């Protein structure tokens, strides 16, 4: 018999922006979230799922607590899916402007993908989420983090960094992955506002 998921969650991330987004998703469902700060070793892997599985193998949640890890990337088909699983590194080294230069003269279609994973007792769950869009011609907006200032969700003229936080959270790849976890745990994700 599978154990019941604890309502206390330790989110292992070094990214304050991710923590705030995930807290906004879990709080309405009655979960309390603790920020387990610090870097987890990320393997050189070809998929987000493998990165998340490796991270789950490193975490040690407290008794009565569920561990949550997540990894995300921006996948650009015109660049063969790059930067993909290397998005954080590419953002640190090339930045948004560098990525824009790489796609100059190429199709600007892009997709943000996220994989979230939880561990409690002997149980592990992974769920993925994605959002399609395109790359803006240059960075816009002061919100978000990472490549948010250059990502235009499908049908939107504003970048993720220009959207109000609540709207960005509702539409994001990360939200979709976390909502998949909530459904798998038997908790309903927060209702989408029109």
Residue 174 maps to which CATH number? 3.90.950.10
> 68 pLDDT band (50/70/90 cuts)?
very high
Catalytic annotation present for 71: yes
Q: Which domain holds residue 82?
A: 8-184
Residue 191 domain-assigned (yes or no): no
Total structural domains in the chain? Answer: 1
> 105 pLDDT band (50/70/90 cuts)?
very high
Mean pLDDT within 149-163: 96
Q: Which residue has the higher pLDDT, 189 or 113?
A: 113
Residue 189 domain-assigned (yes or no): no
Residue 194 domain-assigned (yes or no): no
pLDDT given at position 132: 98
Q: Which residues pair with 10 in a beta bridge?
A: 34, 67
How far apart (Å, rounded) are the C-alpha atoms in residues 54 and 70? 11
* Active-site residue identified among 65, 71, 111, 162: 71
pLDDT given at position 189: 55
End-to-end CA distance of the chain: 39
Residue 131 domain-assigned (yes or no): yes
Residue 151 domain-assigned (yes or no): yes
Residue 1 has pLDDT above 50, yes or no: no
Residue 3 domain-assigned (yes or no): no
pLDDT given at position 144: 87
Residue 41 has pLDDT above 80, yes or no: no
Residue 62 domain-assigned (yes or no): yes
Residue 77 has pLDDT above 90, yes or no: yes
In a 13 Å sphere around the CA of 5, the CA atoms on its Cβ side amount to 23
Average pLDDT, the chain: 90
Helices (H) and strands (E) in the chain, counts: 6, 6
Residue with tokens 């209702």: 191
Residue 193 domain-assigned (yes or no): no
């Amino acid at each position: 018999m599978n154990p019941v998921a604890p309502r206390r969650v330790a989110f292992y991330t070094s990214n304050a922006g991710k923590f705030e987004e995930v807290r906004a998703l879990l709080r309405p469902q009655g979960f309390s979230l603790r920020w387990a700060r610090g870097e987890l070793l990320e393997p050189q892997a070809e998929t987000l799922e493998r990165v998340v599985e490796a991270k789950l193998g490193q975490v040690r949640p407290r008794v009565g607590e569920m561990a949550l890890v997540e990894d995300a990337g921006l996948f650009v088909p015109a660049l063969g899916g790059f930067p993909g699983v290397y998005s954080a590194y590419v953002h640190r080294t090339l930045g948004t402007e560098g990525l824009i230069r790489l796609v100059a003269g190429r199709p600007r279609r892009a997709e943000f993908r996220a994989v979230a994973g939880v561990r409690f007792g002997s149980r592990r769950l992974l769920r993925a989420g994605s959002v399609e869009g395109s790359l803006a011609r240059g960075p816009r907006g002061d919100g978000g983090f990472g490549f948010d200032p250059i990502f235009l969700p499908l049908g939107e003229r504003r970048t993720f960094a220009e959207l109000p936080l609540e709207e960005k959270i509702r539409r994001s790849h990360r939200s979709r992955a976390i909502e998949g976890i909530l459904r798998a745990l038997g908790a309903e994700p927060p209702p989408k506002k029109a």
